[in-house]
Amino acid sequence: MAYWLLKTEPDDYSYFDLERDGGTVWDGVNNPLALKHIRTMQPQDLAWIYHTGKERQIMGMAEISSQAYPDPTLNDAKRVVVDIRPLQKVTQPVTLSQIKQTQKFAEFDLLRIPRLSVVPVSDIYWQYLMELAGVSH
């Protein structure tokens, strides 16, 4: 199992929209490194849903529910998507400020490559984020 952080602009699509819909196609990614990460996703991988913009915080946890496949709305096999479904809202949203202030996250790609929309999360970072978010899983 792998862990991810998926960024979304909450005005476009928020964690609450994901809960309401019961699942969605995670699309709109065009950065080559982010697309490479999507191609490696497998069903049952877990992901934090991170709101960008003014919020800049982790709002919930989701599960990858499909392997990567070409975006059916585009005529470009390189632009892949995955299906995701909501698992749970976090008890305590984890802000970017909290993450930046925690020395444990110094090498986290969220901080090192801030414009990347699909970020791999190591096992140890996943555990740290679970603690900060008040999630037991």
14-43 pLDDT, tens digit each:
999 999 999 999 999 999 999 999 999 999
> pLDDT for 37-74, tens place per residue?
999 999 999 999 999 999 999 999 999 999 999 999 99
Nearest to 84 by CA among 56, 50, 52, 110: 50
pTM: 0.96
Q: How far apart, in Å, are the Cα atoms of 24 and each of 9, 54, 72, 94? A: 15, 23, 13, 23
Distance CA 15, CA 4 (A): 15
Phi, psi of 45 (to 5 degrees): -60, 155
Instruction: Give the separation between CA 111 and CA 10, rounded to whole angstroms.
Output: 20
- 21: domain CATH number is 3.10.590.10
> How many domains does the chain divide into?
1
Range of the structural domain that residue 92 is part of: 3-133
